Amino acid sequence: MGFCKDFAWGTATAAYQIEGAWNEDGKVPSVWDMFCHDGSHIKDGNTGDVACDHYHRYKEDVALMANFGLNSYRFSIAWSRILTFKSTEDGGFAFSENPKGIAFYDSLIDELRAHNITPYVTLYHWDLPYPICQKGGWLNKSCADWFEVYARTIAKHFGDRVKHFITFNEPSVFVGLGYKEGTHAPGYKFDTRDILFIGHHIQLAHGKAVRAIKSLVPDAKVGITFATQPVLPENESKEAIRAAYEAYFSCKKEDVVWSESFWCDPIVKGVYPESLLSECTEFADSIQKEDMELIKTKIDFIGLNIYLGRLMHPQKRLPGTPHTDVNWDVTPSALYWGTKFFYERYNLPIYITENGMACHDWVSLDGKVHDPNRIDYLHRYLLGLRNAAGEGIDIRGYFQWSLLDNFEWAEGYNPRFGMIYCDYATQKRIPKDSAYWYKTVIESNGENL
């Protein structure tokens, strides 16, 4: 048994990383616009102002997806294109809709459907509207209510054609890097106490959004995507596997933001990990029962972004260990262990919502982009995923990161993660060798691996 019959084969992107058009058609600035324009945070002073200019070239990009046989596409919507934000005296907002921003996603969704590509929409891929940040952003509990208004707007406009929704992309990463380490927007360095409340407000926003979407789109499938580095067992013995599982889902105060169970236990089980609550009593005492009810509103799937696994006992990397252009180790069994462990703990269908690698790609003398390392990386990782599916893990789809080379956050345009090469000077798209290879994998539903 391999991948299921209607397996979703796709690629993934995020609004800020590809769209450009940062101030067009009534879009308000997001925290990423502000962070990049400041000039000091991003490699080579790059910004997403233009990025891949997908806002104007989406038709060409959808046609490329169709050429390569993709049946699904995961993209995010920029909250800052959908609503406008007028401050009110009570510290909140009077929202109104931005018809031009909504029209852009209407056309993108129609274009996808015309090419038989199923849209998977992420509501929040890190680009918080700046007016919300000015009122405290995720530290402000009201942010959950504002997110609900946004989710409702998305469901109302697109729910007739979109049936798969992901509330948040990688809360651990945008909170860890944006609010704790300060290397991503909005660039804050908060302590653990604040991080816990920020996390809780995001959990609430998630719960409210799930309810809002389901009330307006009863046949919607709603989930959330986590970033995760599975702990790889030291060997295949029962004890080693158990030890890896325990380490994987452990949750300690000092690195709570990176803990899988901190983010996922509340959503699926309705509780924060016991070990955390006993360490953080102020936080534990402030959590209301109704909050937990809301947070555990039933979801339909879990999205996992997996690029690499980690060892039980991290050691110095051996010389010559294969790694990618962003220095991430190549660990092909990560998809196998990650899906297996998540399914064991949460028992929900799983999508791999991101996996892929940054390669040192360039255009060769023959005008093509040869990326044998990417083909080998994807091949190995997909074999691990197929093994997990073969063991009965309910895996529904795989989205390669990414459709196009794009703006890789603080790393700017240096890492190239795309299946399609982007020449940023001309915006010319050149499918890499791996795109042709991925097409054959999709055609055989992974049987040719």
Instruction: Name the minimum Å distance from CB 420 to ligand FCB.
Output: 15
Per the annotation, the verdict on 279 as an active-site residue is no
Q: Which residue in the set 102, 123, 162, 227 belongs to the binding site for ligand FCB (CB under 6 A)?
A: 227
What would the x/- binding string for ligand FCB be over residues 337 to 356, using CB under 6 A? -----------------x--
Q: Which residue among 19, 111, 148, 170 is the active-site one?
A: 170
Q: Which residue among 19, 111, 260, 354 is the active-site one?
A: 354
Q: Pick the closer one to ligand FCB by CB: 159 or 332.
A: 332
Q: Which residue in the set 331, 388, 408, 429 belongs to the binding site for ligand FCB (CB under 6 A)?
A: 408
Cα separation of 300 and 306, whole Å?
19
Instruction: Name the minimum Å distance from CB 89 to ligand FCB.
Output: 37
Q: Pick the closer one to ligand FCB by CB: 162 or 227.
A: 227
Instruction: Name the minimum Å distance from CB 274 to ligand FCB.
Output: 28
Residues 415, 424 contacting (CB under 8 angstroms): no
What length does the chain have? 449
Per the annotation, the verdict on 344 as an active-site residue is no
Q: If binding means CB under 6 A, how many residues of this protein chain bind ligand FCB?
A: 12
* Of 112, 113, 27, 120, the residue nearest 78 (C-alpha): 27
Please give the C-alpha separations between residue 204 and each of 138, 145, 431, 438, in angstroms, as whole numbers: 11, 9, 41, 38
What would the x/- binding string for ligand FCB be over residues 13 to 32, using CB under 6 A? -x--x---------------
Residues 70, 116 contacting (CB under 8 angstroms): no
Residues 198, 138 contacting (CB under 8 angstroms): yes
Q: Pick the closer one to ligand FCB by CB: 80 or 169.
A: 169
Subset of 268-327 contacting ligand FCB (CB under 6 A):
305
- How many C-alpha atoms does 237 have within 13 Å on its Cβ side? 5
Residues 409, 397 contacting (CB under 8 angstroms): no
Instruction: Decide: is 121 part of the binding site for ligand FCB (CB under 6 A).
Output: no
Instruction: Name the minimum Å distance from CB 100 to ligand FCB.
Output: 25
Q: Which residue in the set 75, 409, 413, 438 belongs to the binding site for ligand FCB (CB under 6 A)?
A: 409
Q: Pick the closer one to ligand FCB by CB: 169 or 400.
A: 169
Subset of 366-405 contacting ligand FCB (CB under 6 A):
401
Instruction: Decide: is 361 part of the binding site for ligand FCB (CB under 6 A).
Output: no
Q: Pick the closer one to ligand FCB by CB: 11 or 203.
A: 11
Instruction: Decide: is 417 part of the binding site for ligand FCB (CB under 6 A).
Output: yes
Cα separation of 343 and 354, whole Å?
17
Q: Pick the closer one to ligand FCB by CB: 122 or 153.
A: 122
Instruction: Name the minimum Å distance from CB 365 to ligand FCB.
Output: 29
What would the x/- binding string for ligand FCB be over residues 157 to 186, using CB under 6 A? ------------xx--x-------------
Instruction: Name the minimum Å distance from CB 36 to ligand FCB.
Output: 14
Q: Pick the closer one to ligand FCB by CB: 97 or 411.
A: 411
Cα separation of 101 and 105, whole Å?
7
Q: Pick the closer one to ligand FCB by CB: 55 or 417.
A: 417
Active site (catalytic) residues: 170, 354
By CB under 6 A, name the binding residues for ligand FCB. Answer: 14, 17, 169-170, 173, 227, 305, 354, 401, 408-409, 417
